[in-house]
Amino acid sequence: MAQQRAEVAGPLDTFRQFFSLQRDVLALSLAMFAFSLGFQMTNRFLPEYLFYLGAGGFVVGLFATLGNVIGAVYPYYGGVVSDRVGSRYALTVFGFVSAFGFVIWLAADFLPAVDLGVVVLEPWVWVFAGLLLAQCWKSLGIGGHYAIVKQATEPDRLARGFASTETFRRTAFLLAPLIVAVLVADELIPGFLWVLVLAIVFAVLGTIAQHWLYEADEDTVGKEFEGVSQIVDDLRALPDALRPLLVADTFVRFANGMVYAFFILVVTQLMQVGLTATVPVYGTVSLSPAAFFGVLLSIEMLVALLTMAPAAKIAERVGLKPVVGLGFFVYAIFPVLLIFGPGVVTGVDDTWLLVALFAFSGLRFAGLPAHKALIVGPAERGAGGRVTGSYYFVRGAIVIPSGVLGGFLWEFVSPELSFTIATAVGLIGVAYFVLFGEEFEAYA
């Protein structure tokens, strides 16, 4: 099995091997695909939805920060629940809870403001409540995914192993924005409401599929985490080789967290760029800025899918560090290119400039498999889940305030300053990684 997964050479090979997977992995893969469709159809467009519901830039920043809190905390509590009730039932419960989170997002457009006397609950408040539920299914995924790839792949082929799983998952990331682009071609509402309906359907179908196909007897995902009492010990046990990577990664992710939720607002509000194109047979097609943003996300993910597997191969020849460093650099430099590019580059239509920029942004994913290999590589066999959970807990905890900082700068200072500071912070992380990051040495 290890050799089979290690020899994945590109996107098509991933799908050729899909139906030969073990039943439990197949079930989780199907669920991952369904939920990835739901998340990607909604999450990247929620900032625009928040504005539609009456929120401002600072509220969008708070929303991003809440997402950071969830990303830092949920994996551990998910592990506790899994240990107590079993992975199969935990995954099923989390799946239905996530689906209900999508329902709340849908309902937000139909709920009036509630005057409590002291404070008025605006409709956008329900988007925050929905986020707490919609992200539940992902809470068990990170550590278990890393541990499974670690145990099933040869140490010197970890980058390829992660390239295989990432290619499959991110195919949903490619398709989801295109679905949104079709539904919001003219304007955000009512098309986005149908997007939320589809997200609910995908979540329910994914949950049912995983419940009936999942073989809980052989599952070890829920055993990877031993609860909150293990957090301190796990942090102390982080391999020394991970510390420079963690520091650099935290800088880069903090920078990205400042601006990530605002990429759609740059396109839809600052630039207000849509797309008009002539399609053979059909005729002229005009897309709203929100729909064009969906096309840009798909272009970004197409580049990611085409480059992840080749980059993993390159990493085996030149080492993981250069490939990871390239991904960090793209993460860091993209915000300043996006916010200032249209004003600096003359003679190029903003539409095509954005296409080029988001294609460039897709290169940040090229280093993702190598990055994951660097994280889990130093871990001992059987400890991949705990090492991964500890790594992401530290990174996630530090990155928590990034969204609200970016939101404050966006609304009360200027978007340009917010994106400039984000790039500066990201480049500090890149420099630190280049100077102090360690190379992977095929750990046992």
User: Any idea which residue has 């793209």 for tokens?
Assistant: 330
Query: Which domains, ranges and CATH numbers included, belong to the chain?
Result: 23-214 (1.20.1250.20), 238-443 (1.20.1250.20)
Answer whether residue 2 shows pLDDT above 50: no
Six-digit token pair at 347?
């003679």
Render pLDDT for 338-362 as a digit per residue (tens, 0 to 9). 999 887 777 778 999 999 999 999 9
Q: Report whether 273 contacts 353 (CB < 8 A).
A: no
pLDDT at 292: 95
Higher pLDDT, 271 or 163: 271
Q: Which of 64-68, 76-80, 308-312 has the lowest mean pLDDT?
A: 76-80
CA–CA separation, 128 and 276 (whole Å) = 34
Q: What are phi and psi of 225, to 5 degrees?
A: -110, 140
CA–CA separation, 316 and 6 (whole Å) = 12
CA–CA separation, 401 and 420 (whole Å) = 17
CA–CA separation, 400 and 323 (whole Å) = 26
Q: Report whether 6 contacts 306 (CB < 8 A).
A: no
Q: Where are the alpha helices (DSSP H) in 319-349?
A: 320-344
The total number of residues written for the chain in this structure:
444
Residues 6+ apart with CB under 8 A from 414: none
Segment 51-59 shows an average pLDDT of 94
Segment 86-112 shows an average pLDDT of 87
CA–CA separation, 170 and 368 (whole Å) = 12
Segment 90-110 shows an average pLDDT of 90
pLDDT band of 439, cuts 50, 70, 90: low
Q: Report whether 299 contacts 362 (CB < 8 A).
A: yes
Render pLDDT for 401-433 as a digit per residue (tens, 0 to 9). 999 999 999 999 999 999 999 999 999 999 999
CA-atom Rg of the chain in angstroms: 21
Q: Report whether 59 contacts 124 (CB < 8 A).
A: yes
Q: Which of 153-157, 258-262, 289-293 has the lowest mean pLDDT?
A: 153-157
CA–CA separation, 295 and 389 (whole Å) = 33
Cis peptide leading into 190, omega within 30 of 0?
Answer: yes
Q: What percent of the chain has pLDDT over 70?
A: 73
pLDDT at 234: 67
User: Any idea which residue has 């955000």 for tokens?
Assistant: 188
Six-digit token pair at 352?
């095509």
Render pLDDT for 359-388 as a digit per residue (tens, 0 to 9). 999 998 888 877 877 776 655 544 445 566
User: Any idea which residue has 């539609």 for tokens?
Assistant: 52
Render pLDDT for 150-195 as a digit per residue (tens, 0 to 9). 555 566 655 555 555 566 677 888 899 999 999 998 888 999 999 9
